[in-house]
């Protein structure tokens, strides 16, 4: 006789691109059984790649959410309303829906799901790939502290987790969500500068990457304000002062401020267009 009961599926991950794989690989590293995770991706070649890499089952969105305790939505904001419409009829009322999409607010998510569905919104970042992620999470109107704890448990395997009011999430997206890209941009610029100064590229890369890592570790472990740490490097009339003077002259501090305002504004614009997509207004 065949067993007709559904397989045990605890977590369904819908949308296995960069961020989806970041979460998936973290779960596997943290000891989750491949059998307790199912995932989906609308690109068949991507689905095959992840099935081979992690030994998980890749299936359809509707199949994935059936029997799942927790459903993670990791598609682009523009793809969210279609995905919600696909899965809404297949969700059990107790299933926790977790969205990682930038901008899309919990009200919009809840509006695309059955009434009372618990929803938690997350803003993660890619350093979770090396278990040094920073994620901020906010509860929707039907999510309880148990739901928040469940999401915290899932994410804390790959880094730190902060619970914040949802009104902070556009700013969080601008700082820690997009933040790795700004730092990679700085690293890239410094490596290039080293090459301009005559260093071989591999030497310049090693110097810059280790300087970035060491500086981050010093900040975290010393607990000192970054201005104090900067002053300790800056000898009167020395090399650092000469360089910092150029950064101030080029308004790099102001550029960071306006850059992050632009990211915050873009997050708000994505939220508005997701709302519009849902209501058709």
Ligand X SMILES: NC(=O)C1=CN([C@@H]2O[C@H](COP(=O)(O)OP(=O)(O)OC[C@H]3O[C@@H](n4cnc5c(N)ncnc54)[C@H](O)[C@@H]3O)[C@@H](O)[C@H]2O)C=CC1
Ligand Y SMILES: O=C(O)[C@@H]1CCC=N1
Binding residues for NADP(+): 14-19
Query: What does the DSSP 8-state code read for residue 43?
Result: S
What number of chain residues touch ligand Y (CB under 6 A)? Answer: 4
Q: Please name which of 115, 60, 58, 114 lies closest in space to residue 91, comparing C-alpha atoms.
A: 114
- Window contacting ligand Y (CB under 6 A); options: 162-170, 172-180, 196-204, 205-213: 172-180
The residues, any chain, with a CB within 8 Å of residue 241's CB and separated by 6 or more, are 234, 235
* Residue 83 sits in the site that holds ligand Y (CB under 6 A): no
Among 81, 178, 204, 277, contact with ligand Y (rule: CB under 6 A): 178
Q: How near is the Cβ of 126 to ligand Y at its closest, in Å? A: 8
Q: How near is the Cβ of 48 to ligand X at its closest, in Å? A: 12
- Residues contributing to the site for ligand X (CB under 6 A): 14-20, 40-43, 46, 61, 74-77, 79, 82-83, 100-102, 123-126, 177
User: Is the Cβ of residue 16 or residue 119 nearer to ligand X in the bound state?
Assistant: 16
Burial degree of 72 (CB within 10 A; 0-12, 13-18, 19+) = buried
What is the CB neighbour count within 10 angstroms for residue 28? Answer: 17
User: Is the Cβ of residue 80 or residue 148 nearer to ligand X in the bound state?
Assistant: 80
What does the block give as tokens for 38?
């199912």
3-state secondary structure of 118: coil
Q: Which does 43 bind (CB under 5 to 8 A by kind): ligand Y, ligand X, none?
A: ligand X
What is the CB neighbour count within 10 angstroms for residue 226? Answer: 10
User: Is the Cβ of residue 54 or residue 194 nearer to ligand X in the bound state?
Assistant: 54
User: Is the Cβ of residue 37 or residue 204 nearer to ligand X in the bound state?
Assistant: 37
What is the CB neighbour count within 10 angstroms for residue 193? Answer: 13
Q: Rounded to an integer, what distance in angstroms lies between the CA atom of residue 218 and that of residue 67?
A: 45
Tell me the binding residues for NADPH: 61
Print the binding letters for residues 6-45 with ligand Y: x by CB under 6 A, - otherwise: ----------------------------------------
Q: How near is the Cβ of 76 to ligand X at its closest, in Å? A: 5
Q: Rounded to an integer, what distance in angstroms lies between the CA atom of residue 220 and that of residue 217?
A: 5
The H or E element that residue 38 is part of is strand 37-40
Site for ligand Y in 99-138 (CB under 6 A): 102
Q: How near is the Cβ of 42 to ligand X at its closest, in Å? A: 4
Task: Yes or no: say if 80 and 274 are a contact pair by the CB < 8 Å rule.
Answer: yes
* Residue 177 sits in the site that holds ligand Y (CB under 6 A): yes
Residues that bind ligand Y (CB under 6 A): 102, 173, 177-178
């Amino acid at each position: 006789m065949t067993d007709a009961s559904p397989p045990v599926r605890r977590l369904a991950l819908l949308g296995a691109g960069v961020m989806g794989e970041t979460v998936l690989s973290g779960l596997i590293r943290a000891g989750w059984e491949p059998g307790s995770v199912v995932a989906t991706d609308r690109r068949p070649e991507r689905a095959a790649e992840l099935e081979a890499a992690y030994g998980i089952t890749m299936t359809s969105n509707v199949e994935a959410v059936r029997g799942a305790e927790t459903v993670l939505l990791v598609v682009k904001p523009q793809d969210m309303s279609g995905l919600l419409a696909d899965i809404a009829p297949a969700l059990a009322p107790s299933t926790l829906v977790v969205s990682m999409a930038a901008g899309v607010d919990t009200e919009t998510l809840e509006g695309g799901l059955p009434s009372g569905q618990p929803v938690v919104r997350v803003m993660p970042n890619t350093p979770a790939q090396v278990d040094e992620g920073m994620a901020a999470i906010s509860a929707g109107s039907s999510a309880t502290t148990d739901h928040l704890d469940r999401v915290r448990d899932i994410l804390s395997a790959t880094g730190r987790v902060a619970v914040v009011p949802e009104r902070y999430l556009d700013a969080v997206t601008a700082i820690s969500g997009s933040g790795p890209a700004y730092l990679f941009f700085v690293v890239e610029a410094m490596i290039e500068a080293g090459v301009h100064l005559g260093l071989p590229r591999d030497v310049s890369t090693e110097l810059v990457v280790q300087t970035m890592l060491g500086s981050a570790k010093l900040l975290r472990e010393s607990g000192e304000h970054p201005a104090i740490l900067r002053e300790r490097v800056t000898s009167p009339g020395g090399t650092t002062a000469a360089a910092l003077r150029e950064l101030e002259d080029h308004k790099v501090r102001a550029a960071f401020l306006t850059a992050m305002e632009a990211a915050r504004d873009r997050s708000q614009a994505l939220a508005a267009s997701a709302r519009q997509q849902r209501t058709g207004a």
